[in-house]
Amino acid sequence: MSGNGANLKSWVARNRYSSLAHYAGAALAVWVALSLWTFSPVLHRHLFVLLLAAVLFTARFIGFGPAVFCSLVSTACLDFFAVPPYLHFGIRTGADAERLTVFLAISVFAGSMARQKTLAESRAERTTREMAAIVEYSADAIYSTGPDGLITSWNRAAEQLYGYTPEEAVGLSVARLAPPERQAEVDRNLEILNRGGHVASYRTERMRKDGTRWPALLSVSALRNARGEIVGTSAIARDISAEKQSEEAMRRSEKLATAGRLAASIAHEINNPLEAIVNLLYLARHDSFHAADYLTQAEQEVGRVARLAQQALGFVRDAGAPGSMDPAAIMDEILQLYSRKLDGRRIRVTRRYRGSCQVNGYSGELRQLLANLLVNALDAMPDGGSLQVRVATGRDWSDGREGVRITVADNGSGIPRNHLRQIFEPFYTTKKDTGTGLGLWVSRGIVQKHGGSIRVRSRASGRSTGTVFSIFLPQQHEISRVA
Ligand SMILES: Nc1ncnc2c1ncn2[C@@H]1O[C@H](COP(=O)(O)OP(=O)(O)OP(=O)(O)O)[C@@H](O)[C@H]1O
Ligand SMILES: [Mg+2]
Render pLDDT for 169-199 as a digit per residue (tens, 0 to 9). Answer: 999 999 999 999 999 998 888 888 888 788 8
Quick count: other Cβ atoms within 10 Å of Cβ 462?
7
Res 1: pLDDT? 43
Ligand showing the shortest atom-to-Cα distance for residue 378:
1
Pick the CATH number of 321-483 from 3.30.420.40, 3.30.565.10, 3.40.190.10, 3.90.79.10: 3.30.565.10
Domain 138-239, CATH homologous superfamily name and number? PAS domain (3.30.450.20)
* Mean pLDDT over the full length of the chain: 86
pLDDT for 252: 81
Distance 258 CA to ligand 1 centre (A): 13
For the CA of 442, the nearest atom of ligand 1: 18
CA distance 272 to 315: 22
CA dihedral 429, 435, 438, 441 (to 10 degrees): -50
The answer to whether the beta carbons of residues 54 and 29 sit under 8 Å apart is yes
Ligand 1 site-directed mutation target among 440, 464, 471, most atoms within 8 Å of CB: 440
Distance 151 CA to ligand 2 centre (A): 47
The SS3 of residue 44 is helix
Q: What angle do CA 182, 231, 183 make, to 5 degrees?
A: 10
Pocket of ligand 1 (CB under 6 A): 372, 376-377, 380, 410, 412-415, 423, 428-431, 435-441, 467
Q: Give the closest residue (by CA) to ligand 1 atom 27.
A: 439
Q: Could you tell me the pLDDT band of residue 413, with boundaries at 50, 70 and 90?
A: very high
CA of 478 to the centre of ligand 1 (A): 29
Does this chain's domain 138-239 share its CATH topology with 321-483?
A: no
The ligand whose atoms approach the alpha carbon of 408 most closely is 1
Among protein residues, the one whose CA lies closest to atom 8 of ligand 1: 376
Peptide bond into 426 cis (omega under 30): no
Distance of CA 396 from the midpoint of ligand 1 (Å): 25
Residue ranges per structural domain of the chain: 2-135, 138-239, 241-317, 321-483
Q: Is the pLDDT of residue 376 over 50?
A: yes
Residue 481: the pLDDT is: 46
Of 376, 423, 425, 434, the residue with max ligand 1 atoms within 8 A of its CB, to mutate for a pocket test, comes to 376
Residue-level pLDDT at 20: 87
Q: Which residues, other chains included, contact 226 with Cβ-Cβ below 8 Å and sequence gap of 6+?
A: none
Which ligand lies nearest the alpha carbon of 423? 1
Model confidence at 64, pLDDT cuts 50, 70, 90, reads confident
Of 118-132, 297-311, 339-353, 449-463, the poorest mean pLDDT is in 297-311
Closest to 385 in 3D by CA, of 423, 416, 344, 415? 344
Which residue has a Cα nearest atom 17 of ligand 1?
Answer: 439
Could you give the C-alpha distances from 67 to 59, 120, 163, 184, 359, in angstroms and in order? 5, 17, 53, 61, 81
The answer to whether 53 and 107 are in contact (CB under 8 A) is no
- Ranking 231-235, 316-320, 376-380 by mean pLDDT, the lowest is 316-320
Confidence grade of residue 364 (pLDDT, cut at 50, 70, 90)? confident
pLDDT value for 350? 97
CA pair distance 394, 293, nearest whole angstrom: 46
Query: Which atom in ligand 1 lies closest to the alpha carbon of residue 429?
Result: 29
CA of 440 to the centre of ligand 2 (A): 6
Alpha carbons 299 and 394: distance in angstroms, whole number: 40
Does the pLDDT at position 29 exceed 90?
A: yes
**Among 162-166, 233-237, 367-371, which is the least confidently predicted range?**
367-371
What's residue 314's pLDDT? 62
Residue 63 confidence class, pLDDT cut points 50, 70, 90: confident
Instruction: Please tell me whether the overall predicted TM-score, pTM, comes out greater than 0.75 for this model.
Output: no
Q: Where are the alpha helices (DSSP H) in 40-93?
A: 47-61, 64-82
pLDDT at 62: 87
Within 8 A by CB and 6+ apart from 430, the residues are 419
The whole-angstrom separation of Cα 195 and Cα 174 is 18
